[in-house]
């Protein structure tokens, strides 16, 4: 009887861990789709809402950065192979973003190395790497 009870406890713990992982995975998928959509539409203001509040407080977006984002239009957002685990509560994703300068109509691409962290308390994925650096060559 004791052995059966022990097995049931272990199975219950594994089941709960699986549910937590599934919930975290579903939240990541939803978050990455919403973030990608915001960038595809060139809505950098909305994309900024995905940044971890602590990161944003430490490194607020400057007026110059916001002005630079207004000078480009996103023509393509390719998140490649998708997210790659980088720990229990972290993932990395590399996206290629094609941008068109609205003044010169020249197009170029930048590579955005994203880092996402899952906050267990709020059950929310946060972008810890900030918005893409569109000044890179």
Q: Is 134 domain-assigned?
A: no
Cα dihedral sign, 44-49-50-53: positive
Q: Is 23 domain-assigned?
A: yes
- Residue 47, domain CATH: 3.10.450.100
Q: pLDDT, tens digit, for every residue of 7-18? A: 433 333 333 334
- Counting the structural domains of the chain, the total is 1
Q: pLDDT, tens digit, for every residue of 69-99? A: 999 999 999 998 899 999 989 999 999 999 9
Structure tokens, 51:
């940044």
Question: Cα dist. 24→16, 18, 52, 85, 119 in Å?
Answer: 12, 10, 17, 12, 10
Cβ(113)–Cβ(94) under 8 Å? yes
Neighbours of 111 (CB within 10 A): 12
The reply to whether the predicted model has a pTM over 0.85 is: no
């Amino acid at each position: 009887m004791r052995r059966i009870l022990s097995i049931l406890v272990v199975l219950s713990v594994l089941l709960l861990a699986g549910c937590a992982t599934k919930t975290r995975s579903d939240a990541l998928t939803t978050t990455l789709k919403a973030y990608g959509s915001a960038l595809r539409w060139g809505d950098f203001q909305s994309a900024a809402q995905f940044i971890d509040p602590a990161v944003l407080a430490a490194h607020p977006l400057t007026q110059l950065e916001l002005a630079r984002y207004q000078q480009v239009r996103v023509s393509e957002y390719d998140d490649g192979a998708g997210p790659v685990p980088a720990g229990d509560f972290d993932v990395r994703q590399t996206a290629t973003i094609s941008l068109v300068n609205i003044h010169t109509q020249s197009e170029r691409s930048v590579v955005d190395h994203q880092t996402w962290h899952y906050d267990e308390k709020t059950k929310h994925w946060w972008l810890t790497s900030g918005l893409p650096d569109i000044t890179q060559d």
